[in-house]
Amino acid sequence: MNEFNTVYTRAPEQAIVKQNALIRQVYAWMGAGLTITAFAALMTLSSPATLNAVIGNRFLFYGLMIGELALVFTLSGAINRLSASVATLIFIAYSALNGVTLSVLALVYTTSSITSTFVITAGMFGAMSVYGYMTKSDLTSWGNFLFMGLIGVVIASVVNIFVASSAVSWVISGVGVIVFTGLTAYDTWKIKELAAQGAEGRKPAILGALTLYLDFINLFLMLLRFTGNRR
């Protein structure tokens, strides 16, 4: 995200004091986003009328997905022009909408496989996030490489909508796991660097939370294609 290239200036001792505070806020908001997503998914599944509307109306389903993309682009692209309250509301709204659309996974995969994949995702995410935070290496070079990989995954996924090849889908999932695993470490490192430079406040925390939230959700979806047992 371009806003992650913003340069913040602060005396070294002040940066050290503020660094952990921002990191805690980022993970707190990310956890809140995942909780909201899970709650929204459960509420959708518990309401047959809502669930039928989501899966039975293709225009509504794709409308929700377009709405999600609009919220992500708005939050990431206009974060400097938004108030902290508006940025927070957008993040909450996105997390809730994502829960509604992800609820359909429960109709495709067994509950046990979704749960086990979530645990695996949490373990991988946690390990790579710890690495990104603890490493003394400069991970700048990872950025361009992972971004190219991400673009490749997106393009291949769009093409495979029309090709509908299971083999291609597996390859996309494999590459996606590598890309989002790497992005977890890179984005954590980037957030740590911004915190060290003096970034503070709710808006940087929300943007950082959104970034890690997207890494987690996409890693989960890619892994689910490998480990999920279909109904």
pLDDT one-digit tens code per residue, 14-53 = 656 677 788 889 999 999 999 999 999 999 999 888 888 8
The answer, yes or no, to whether residue 9 has pLDDT greater than 60, is no
More confident residue, 6 or 56: 56
Give the start-to-end residue ranges of the domains of the chain: 10-227
Find, among 206, 223, 191, the residue nearest to 85 by Cα.
206
DSSP class of residue 79? T
Contact between residue 121 and residue 216 where contact means Cβ atoms under 8 Å apart? yes
On whether the CB atoms of residues 133 and 192 are closer than 8 A, the answer is: yes
Q: What is the pTM of this model?
A: 0.87
Q: pLDDT digits over 94-142, tens only?
A: 999 999 999 989 888 998 899 999 999 999 999 999 999 988 888 888 8
Q: Which two tokens stand for residue 85?
A: 């309250």
pLDDT for the residue 119: 94
Find the mean pLDDT for residues 55-77. Answer: 86
How many angstroms separate the Cα of 154 from the Cα of each of 12, 74, 222, 223?
A: 40, 20, 12, 16
Average pLDDT, the chain: 86
- List of residues 6+ apart from 65 with CB closer than 8 A: 101
Q: What kind and span of H or E run contains 230?
A: none
Q: Whose CA is closest to 80, among 4, 134, 21?
A: 4
- Residue 52 makes CB contacts below 8 A (sequence gap 6+) with none
Confidence at residue 170, expressed as pLDDT on a 0 to 100 scale = 86
- The angle, 0 to 180 degrees and rounded to 10, between the axes of the packed helices 202-227 and 12-46 is 50
DSSP H stretches of helix in the chain: 12-46, 48-56, 58-77, 84-102, 105-108, 111-134, 140-163, 166-197, 202-227
Whether the Cβ atoms of residue 60 and residue 53 lie closer than 8 Å to each other: yes
